[in-house]
């Protein structure tokens, strides 16, 4: 490399796991198991999903959705600061998104936004962003 070449940082640099999800066959039975039996700290419900805190990682159990969760499958969620910028960068690299960035839940003080894509082997990857209410994207 010559001295005139400037190294540029990649726009996308995933380095934090934000959430792990599993698909379950009976949500109520699984909520009792993870919250009651295993003692995970319950955070919130969002539709057919229940969320727990597991150390620094959020853990989600949910009834399957054929686009994002396959029974018995695992989804890795990566936290990103600017979901729209990361989405645009990956789309520019011909990454196909199963689900475009969208609002998942309004939390106390922030909104939870997510988008889903597949890796080369077909595993689902979730990108998540916790957006302070004052910075929420307009029109989405």
Whole-angstrom distance, CA of residue 140 vs CA of residue 137 = 6
Q: Is the pLDDT of residue 11 over 90?
A: no
CATH (domain of 95): 3.10.180.10
**Using one digit for the tens of pLDDT, what is the confidence trace for 108-119?**
899 999 999 887
Mean residue pLDDT of the chain comes to: 83
Contact criterion met (CB below 8 Å) for 116 and 128: no
Q: Is the pLDDT of residue 120 over 50?
A: yes
The model's confidence at residue 139, banded by pLDDT at 50, 70 and 90, is: very low
Percentage helix, strand, coil for the chain under 3-state DSSP, each rounded to 5 = 15, 45, 40
Mean pLDDT calculated for residue range 52-58: 91
Would residue 2 count as lying in a domain? no
Domain housing 84: 17-132
* pTM recorded for the entire structure: 0.64
Would residue 1 count as lying in a domain? no
Domains contained in the chain, number: 1
- Of 66 and 98, the structure prediction assigns the larger pLDDT to 98
Whole-angstrom distance, CA of residue 19 vs CA of residue 105 = 15
Would residue 140 count as lying in a domain? no
Would residue 68 count as lying in a domain? yes
């Amino acid at each position: 490399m010559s001295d005139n070449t400037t190294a540029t940082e990649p726009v996308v640099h995933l380095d934090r796991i934000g959430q792990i999800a599993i698909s379950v066959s009976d949500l109520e039975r699984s909520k009792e198991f993870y919250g009651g039996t295993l003692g995970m700290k319950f955070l919130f419900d969002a539709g057919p999903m229940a969320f727990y805190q597991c150390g620094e990682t959020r853990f989600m159990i949910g009834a399957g959705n054929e686009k994002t969760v396959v029974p018995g499958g695992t989804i890795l969620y990566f936290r990103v600061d600017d979901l729209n910028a990361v989405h645009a960068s990956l789309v520019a690299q011909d990454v196909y998104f199963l689900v475009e960035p969208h609002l998942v839940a309004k939390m106390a003080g922030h909104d939870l936004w997510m988008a889903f894509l597949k890796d080369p082997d077909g595993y689902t990857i979730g990108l998540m962003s916790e957006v302070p209410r004052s910075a929420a994207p307009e029109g989405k």
